Amino acid sequence: MTDYSNLAQLPLFSNSLLDWSLALAIAAIALFVMLMARRGIRAYYKRMQATAETELLEIPLQVLSRSTLLTLLVVALYIGAQWLTMGPKTQQVLGSAVTIALFWQVGIWMMAAASIWLERKRQRSLAADRAAIGSLGIISFVVNVVIWAMMLLLTLDNLGIDITALIAGLGIGGIAVALAVQNVLGDLFASLSITLDRPFVIGDFLIVGDFMGSVEYIGIKSTRLRSLSGEQIIISNSDLLGSRVRNYGRMQERRVVFATSITRETPIELVEQIPALIRKIVEDQADTRFDRSHFAKHAATSLDFETVYYVLSADYNKYMDTQQAINLRLHRELQQSGAEFAYPTQKLYLSSQESPADDDDSPAARGRNRAERPEAA
């Protein structure tokens, strides 16, 4: 009963019914004005968003349109409370409440501004700088953590908590937490390393051990690849940086080596012409650079030629189209010249052997043969 009686004796409850009605009316009017202002800002922003160009006030209006109803309600109640008689403690509580609400609203505005900037940066980077896309998610995470950490510390400071001692305690506790989640932190620092060093970017085709696929997303904990067969491959960032990564996305041109084998019965004159023929066929293809073509060796069942050229593109389909055109024309040219492609064959040579006695045509041998031949009866 004593607490309730003390509460009833506060200056706030000494206001008349007219004072309370006036305060609530002013609060309602203030809330209505702020809601209408927010509605007007959102409508004006939608009209500006419909245009093709980005105007100067478009981003500030988009940020202000994120004002929350709770913040507007707290501010309206604070404005209405100014028409009431209050004690120092009540004024301090109301001041802290509206300050904390404004802190969190500012945090929402700052987070919205950061998100809008990062999204516009991502849209510009889709065509110009794919390397920046992978770092935007990590930057967004770090910015959000910093913003809300600042808002939390300001809120605690406004509530009268000594944040200096809290920060010192967090520093000591952070060591224990870091030891407990060192694998997560390892992936986090690995993601920062990927962001800064950029060994690969969104869209690059990677081969990591037995896995291969295109990079779809670079996150805080893991990187996601889309394999050729369609499934998603998720690899932790620390494992990814600790592996040998083959990045085909950085390929400027493709070196191609192919062999041609013809039969061993091919005339030497035609064999001498084949390297020049292959060179002409390769040079006639678009976006290629010929390197060499040689009669490489005498194989067991064929004469082997080795050819090296470059496709001036990293596109695998382009390489296959070029190689197909070379193979078809080479096949046609060799067929017209009379040369045959080699295939595994074996030749078996047979010889008949007669007895030495049958081959001896001397008189003594003929006499022996007659002696051995039985007389007719």
Calpha distance 36→67 (Å, rounded): 12
For helices 17-49 and 69-81, the axis angle rounded to 10 degrees is: 150
Q: Is residue 178 part of a domain?
A: no
How many domains, the chain? 3
Calpha distance 288→322 (Å, rounded): 8
> What does the pLDDT read at residue 357?
53
Q: Is residue 168 part of a domain?
A: no
- The band of 376, judged by pLDDT with boundaries at 50, 70 and 90, is very low
User: In terms of C-beta density within 10 A (0-12 exposed, 13-18 middle, 19 or more buried), how is residue 89 classed?
Assistant: exposed
**What's the CATH code of the domain at 243?**
2.30.30.60
Chain centroid to Cα 345, Å, comes to 50
> What does the pLDDT read at residue 152?
82
Residue 61 pLDDT greater than 70, yes or no: yes
Same domain for 229 and 116 = no
Q: What mean pLDDT is predicted for residues 321-336?
A: 94
For residue 341, the 8-state DSSP code is B
Tell me the pLDDT tens digit for each residue of 87-120: 777 777 788 888 888 888 888 888 888 887 777 7
Residue 251 pLDDT greater than 50, yes or no: yes
For residue 249, the 8-state DSSP code is G
Calpha distance 165→154 (Å, rounded): 14
Q: Is residue 165 part of a domain?
A: no
Residue 377 pLDDT greater than 60, yes or no: no
Q: Is residue 180 part of a domain?
A: no
Mean pLDDT is lowest, of 205-209, 256-260, 351-355, for 351-355
Spatial contact of 237 and 196, defined as CB atoms under 8 Å apart = no
> What does the pLDDT read at residue 319?
92
Q: What mean pLDDT is predicted for residues 49-76?
A: 80
Question: Percentage of the chain surpassing pLDDT 90?
Answer: 23
Same domain for 231 and 276 = no
Same domain for 259 and 246 = no
Q: Is residue 348 part of a domain?
A: no
For 38, 116, 123, the CA distances from 45, given in Å and listed in that order, are 10, 14, 19
Q: Is residue 366 part of a domain?
A: no
Mean pLDDT is lowest, of 185-189, 198-202, 311-315, for 185-189
Same domain for 105 and 29 = yes
Same domain for 262 and 234 = no
- The band of 157, judged by pLDDT with boundaries at 50, 70 and 90, is confident
Residue 183 pLDDT greater than 70, yes or no: no
Spatial contact of 194 and 237, defined as CB atoms under 8 Å apart = yes
Q: What mean pLDDT is predicted for residues 286-296?
A: 94
Q: Work out the mean pLDDT of the chain and round it to a whole number.
A: 79
Q: Is residue 20 part of a domain?
A: yes
Domain limit, last residue, from 214, 232, 250: 250
Same domain for 323 and 284 = yes
Same domain for 220 and 103 = no
Q: Is residue 162 part of a domain?
A: no
Spatial contact of 34 and 42, defined as CB atoms under 8 Å apart = no
Q: Is the model more confident about 199 or about 29?
A: 29
> What does the pLDDT read at residue 324?
95
> What does the pLDDT read at residue 2?
47
Same domain for 19 and 150 = yes
Same domain for 261 and 194 = no
Tell me which range, 71-85, 168-182, 301-315, is most confidently predicted by mean pLDDT: 301-315
Same domain for 195 and 102 = no
> What does the pLDDT read at residue 124?
66
Same domain for 71 and 91 = yes
Same domain for 114 and 48 = yes
Which residues make Cβ contacts (< 8 Å) with residue 225, sequence separation at least 6?
206, 208, 211, 212, 213, 214, 215, 216, 232, 233, 234, 235
Residue 244 pLDDT greater than 90, yes or no: no
Residue range(s) defining the domain that contains residue 204: 185-250
Spatial contact of 143 and 103, defined as CB atoms under 8 Å apart = no
Q: Up-side HSE of residue 174: CA atoms within 13 Å toward CB? A: 7
Residue carrying structure tokens 């920060």: 167
> What does the pLDDT read at residue 288?
93
Calpha distance 127→237 (Å, rounded): 25
Structural Rg of the chain based on CA atoms: 43
**What's the CATH code of the domain at 317?**
3.30.70.100
**Which DSSP helix (H) or strand (E) runs through 363?**
helix 363-372
